[in-house]
């Protein structure tokens, strides 16, 4: 590990904060975000919950819970990515899932409009609309699968990372090419990839929660692999771990978490990058607690961003992806500056 | 016996109630128990269509781009295609939402049980059909066709005003600088055809293709049309100073507010055709 990454991930200005206490604090914050989320209405804050019951039930509740769940998935995926690549700047979208999701959406939209035009069969156009969420999910997983295929498995992290970049560029190019042939899909892609929590309903929440329930326990169970990886591949292998297979599993979990979040909430940047950072700055922990706390931090971050998106310029709404990118960018900048002055 | 009565009741009551069934551009049928009274429109051309059908007072909310007629600007704004504010929309309790097929909110709104018509006019025939669907939805069947007849007449009147010298001339209509053009198969292209102009971008290239700038140079259109701002910067593009139409000043640069009419497939298409005719008349008058 190089010095830069060590100090970027520097633990510890807060010795009083134990992992347990941080967990409790995050749980409290998540609860607070939950309550605020139920109150952040379209006309500003509204605490008349009896009056707004229908609205809360149909819109605010699934949206708030959905933002928390998507944030948790991104936080978890980010912690997995940073552990897997031993790189504090690793991001869950790194392995081609973002570009894959984009390509999936474009493919379905373009195919829908072309088929609808040529076969003059209108329902196809509609099919393409409802198939978009599924396409984004499949595309995200497909992007990661292609990366794995090109890298010949997950044995060599650096190669995997480079292949991720290549896949991202290639898939981006292919979807741009498709957009030339079917410009109508452009708007669809733009719309879809703009990170937003505004359209999360109960169905979306079910998907997000399902992925979380599946991915989090599995990730925790294999967290010790990430601990062993910190010591380097050779040491990890000497502990009797079958690295390629375990890495593959962790990449798959990361892809599942990222793909689900992208397909429901679009490309919400920086949550996956920043959440593990925050946790590592506050406490020194092994990967087990780190994964759990990162998921919690991601949930709080995206939940808070969702509430802010709704209330900052109410009754208008900000796309939540814009807020997380702003916050994440400023956070990293502050981190870098502080590190620069401290060194 | 009870069953029989239920059937008889249904038979007796249903025709009496003014239930309306319309089909939208996704091929989905929507049944409204009565003509829509509280409508949200999330597409400017649909907003304009509803207002032209004398249903402006039934609008309770619009998207952020709807700006004509002026009175719709007073209505609650509900965001754009990708960031529709769902809660605000639901709060308005619309009995009908009309939106583009590509609007991301469609699925969410339907899940919330709000009646949605997805309509996206792309050609003149589409515009006619969409106006008809809107007219049915507001309980004024036949009004759509009547409105279309007016628009059609207006376009014909504009076509009649095109100076004979300019009929059959080639034209390049730019919708965005990249450059993207309005091809012959787009509704803008159809309008230009109705005005007896020949589009340099053939229908085979699609409705709004991105062109190689060289294509326009090679085509040497007799007339160039775009926003006033685009026309002003065209001579500065590499090589475009050689465009004879620009050299001779045979260009129609439309002010933004007017240009909007040209790119919205709605009830103001006749007025849009008139704008083009006006420009052609001016060009003809300037000829030495």
Rounded to whole angstroms, the maximal C-alpha distance in chain A is: 67
Max avg pLDDT among A226-240, B171-185, B189-203, B209-223: B189-203
Separation of alpha carbons B172 and B88, rounded Å: 42
Of the given ranges (A24-33, A112-121, A198-207), which has the lowest mean pLDDT? A112-121
Does A235 sit behind a cis peptide bond, omega within 30 degrees of 0 on the bond before it?
no
Minimum distance, in Å, between the CA of residue B27 and any CA atom of chain A: 5
Q: Answer whether residue B116 shows pLDDT above 50.
A: yes
Angstroms from B167 CA to nearest CA on chain A: 31
Alpha-helical (H) ranges within B61-112 are: 86-91, 105-111
Which segment of A112-126, A189-203, B119-133 scores lowest on mean pLDDT?
Answer: A112-126
The C-alpha atoms of residue B62 and residue A270 are separated, in whole angstroms, by 33
Window 212-271 of B, Cβ < 8 Å to A: none
Q: Which residues of A touch B108 (CB under 8 A)?
A: 199, 201
For A33-62, what is the mean pLDDT? 84
Residue B175 pLDDT greater than 70, yes or no = yes
A160 touches A181 (CB < 8 A): no
What is the number of other CB atoms lying within 10 angstroms of the CB of residue B34? 11
| B241-to-B124, B179, B215, B268 alpha-carbon distances in Å | 34, 15, 14, 33
pLDDT of residue A1: 37
Nearest CA-CA distance, residue A208 and chain B, Å: 16
Interface test mutation site (partner A, options B23, B25, B26, max chain A beta carbons within 10 A): B26
pLDDT of residue B4: 56
**Tokens (6 digits) for A126:** 């509609």
Could you tell me if B95 and B36 are in contact, meaning their C-beta atoms sit under 8 angstroms apart? Answer: yes
Contact (CB, 8 A) for A189 and A106 = yes
pLDDT of residue A290: 95
pLDDT band per the 50, 70, 90 thresholds, residue B122: confident
Judged by CB atoms closer than 8 Å, whether chains meet at B208 and A183 is answered as: yes
Does the distance separating the beta carbons of B112 and A58 come in below 8 Å? yes
Out of A246-260, A325-339, B34-48, the most confident range is B34-48
pLDDT at residue B260 is higher than 70: yes
Report the run of H or E that residue B42 belongs to, with start and end. none
pLDDT above 80 for B170: yes
- Taking only the tens place, the pLDDT of each residue in B186-219 is 999 999 999 999 999 999 888 888 888 889 999 9
Mean pLDDT in chain B?
A: 90
Kindly report the length of chain B.
288
Asked if A69 and A209 count as a contact pair (C-beta separation under 8 A), the reply is yes
* pLDDT reading at B74 higher than 90: yes
Name the token pair of A320: 């939540």
How far is Cα A107 from Cα A139, in angstroms, rounded to an integer? 9
pTM for the predicted model, two decimal places: 0.80
- Report the pLDDT averaged over residues B239-264: 92
For residue B23, the chain A residue with the least C-alpha distance is A122
Average pLDDT, integer, range A56-79:
94
Chain B closest CA to A198's CA: distance in Å?
A: 7
In the structure, what pLDDT confidence band is assigned to residue A179 with cuts at 50, 70 and 90?
confident
Nearest CA in chain B to A59: B87
Q: How confident is the model at residue A5 (pLDDT cuts 50, 70, 90)?
A: very low
Half-sphere exposure of residue A157: CA atoms within 13 angstroms, side-chain side:
19
Reported as a pLDDT band with limits 50, 70 and 90, residue A266 is confident
Where does the pLDDT of residue B93 fall: very low under 50, low under 70, confident under 90, or very high at 90 and above? very high
HSE of A328, CA atoms in CB hemisphere, 13 A: 24
Cis before A203 (ω within 30): no
C-alpha span between A203 and A141 (Å, rounded): 20
Q: Do B101 and A183 touch (CB under 8 A)?
A: no
Q: pLDDT value at position A102?
A: 85
Q: Is the pLDDT of residue B95 over 50?
A: yes
**Interchain CB contacts (distance < 8 Å): A and B:** 83
In 3D, which of B92, B134, B96 has the Cα closest to residue B116?
B96
Test the A interface: residue of B28, B63, B94, B104 with most A CBs within 10 Å: B104
* Measured distance CA(B167)–CA(A31) in Å, rounded: 70
- pLDDT computed for residue A130 by the predictor: 58
Q: What percent of chain A has pLDDT over 70?
A: 87
Q: Give the pLDDT of residue B267.
A: 95
Instruction: Quote the pLDDT of residue B81.
Output: 76
What percentage of chain B has pLDDT greater than the value 70?
93
Instruction: Kindly state the average pLDDT of the residues A50-72.
Output: 90
Q: What is the pLDDT of residues A127-172, one digit of tens each?
A: 555 577 788 888 989 999 899 899 887 778 888 889 999 999 999 8
Q: Are A148 and A160 spatial neighbours (Cβ–Cβ below 8 Å)?
A: yes
Closest residue of B to A194, CA-based?
A: B82
Q: What is the per-residue pLDDT for A40?
A: 85
d(CA A52, CA B228): 49
Interface pTM (ipTM) of the complex? 0.70
The per-residue pLDDT for A9 is: 45
Sheet hosting strand B59-62, strand order edge to edge: B59-62, B39-41, B96-99, B116-118
Higher pLDDT pick, B148 / A2: B148
Q: Across residues B253-281, what is the average pLDDT?
A: 94
* Helix, strand, coil abundance in chain A, percent, nearest 5: 75, 0, 20
Residue A286 has a pLDDT of: 92
Facing A126 at nearest CB: one of B26, B79, B209: B26
- State residue A104's pLDDT score: 87
Q: Which of A4-18, A154-168, A206-220, B19-33 has the weakest average pLDDT?
A: A4-18
| Amino acid B157: pLDDT | 96
Beta bridge partners of B254: B227
Chain A residues within 8 A of B76 when measuring between CB atoms: 315
Segment B120-128 shows an average pLDDT of 92
Burial of B92 (0-12, 13-18, 19+ CB in 10 A): middle
């Amino acid at each position: 590990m190089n010095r830069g990454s060590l100090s970027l991930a520097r633990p510890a200005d807060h010795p009083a904060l134990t992992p347990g206490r941080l967990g409790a604090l995050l749980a409290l914050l998540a609860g607070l975000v939950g309550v605020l989320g139920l109150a952040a209405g379209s006309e500003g804050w509204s605490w008349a919950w009896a009056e707004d019951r229908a609205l809360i039930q149909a819109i605010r509740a699934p949206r708030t819970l959905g933002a928390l769940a998507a944030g948790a998935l991104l936080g978890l995926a980010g912690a997995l990515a940073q552990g897997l690549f031993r790189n504090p700047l690793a991001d869950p979208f790194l392995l081609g899932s973002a570009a894959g999701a984009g390509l999936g959406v474009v493919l379905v939209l373009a195919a829908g409009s072309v088929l609808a035009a040529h076969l003059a069969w209108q329902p196809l156009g509609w099919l393409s609309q409802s198939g978009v969420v599924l396409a984004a999910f499949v595309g995200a997983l497909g992007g990661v699968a292609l990366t794995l295929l090109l890298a010949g498995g997950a044995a060599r992290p650096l190669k995997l990372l480079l292949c991720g970049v290549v896949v991202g560029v290639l898939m981006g190019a292919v979807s741009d090419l498709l957009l030339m042939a079917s410009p109508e899909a452009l708007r669809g892609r733009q719309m879809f990839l703009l990170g937003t929590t505004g359209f999360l309903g109960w169905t979306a929440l079910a998907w997000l929660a399902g992925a979380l329930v599946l991915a989090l326990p599995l990730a925790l169970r294999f967290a010790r692999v990430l601990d062993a990886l910190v010591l380097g591949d050779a040491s990890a292998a000497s502990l009797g771990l079958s690295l390629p297979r375990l890495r593959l599993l962790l990449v798959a979990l990361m892809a599942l978490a990222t793909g689900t979040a992208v397909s429901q909430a679009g490309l919400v940047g920086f949550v996956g990058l920043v959440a593990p950072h925050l946790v590592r700055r506050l406490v020194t922990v092994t990967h087990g607690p780190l994964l759990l706390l990162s998921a919690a931090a991601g949930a709080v971050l995206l939940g808070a961003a969702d509430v802010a998106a709704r209330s900052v310029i109410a009754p208008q709404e900000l796309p939540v992806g814009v807020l997380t990118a702003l916050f994440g960018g400023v956070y990293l900048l502050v981190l870098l500056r502080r590190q620069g002055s401290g060194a | 016996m009870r069953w029989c009565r239920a059937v008889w009741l249904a038979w007796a009551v249903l025709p009496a109630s003014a239930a309306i069934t319309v089909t939208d551009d996704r091929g989905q049928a929507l049944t409204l128990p009565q003509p829509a009274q509280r409508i949200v429109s999330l597409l400017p051309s649909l907003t304009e269509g509803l207002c032209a059908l004398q249903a402006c007072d039934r609008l309770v909310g619009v998207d952020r781009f709807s700006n004509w007629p002026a009175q719709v600007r007073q209505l609650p704004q509900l965001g754009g295609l990708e960031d529709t504010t769902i809660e605000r929309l639901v709060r308005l309790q619309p009995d009908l939402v009309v939106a583009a097929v590509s609007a991301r909110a469609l699925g969410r709104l339907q899940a919330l049980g709000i009646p949605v018509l997805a309509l996206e006019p792309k050609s003149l025939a589409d515009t006619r059909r969409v106006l008809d669907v809107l007219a049915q939805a507001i309980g004024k069947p036949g009004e759509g066709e009547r409105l279309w007849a007016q628009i059609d007449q207006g376009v014909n009147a504009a076509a009649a005003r095109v100076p004979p010298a300019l009929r059959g001339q080639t034209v390049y209509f730019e919708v965005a600088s990249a450059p993207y053009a309005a091809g012959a198969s787009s509704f803008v292209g159809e309008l230009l055809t109705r005005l007896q102009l020949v589009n340099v971008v053939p229908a085979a290239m699609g409705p709004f293709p991105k062109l190689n700038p060289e294509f326009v140079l090679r085509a040497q259109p007799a007339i160039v049309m775009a926003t006033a701002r685009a026309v002003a910067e065209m001579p500065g593009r590499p090589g475009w100073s050689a465009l004879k139409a620009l050299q001779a000043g045979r260009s129609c640069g439309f002010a933004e507010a007017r240009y909007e009419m040209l790119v919205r497939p709605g009830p103001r298409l006749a007025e849009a055709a008139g704008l083009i005719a006006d420009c052609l008349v001016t060009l003809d008058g300037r000829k030495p």
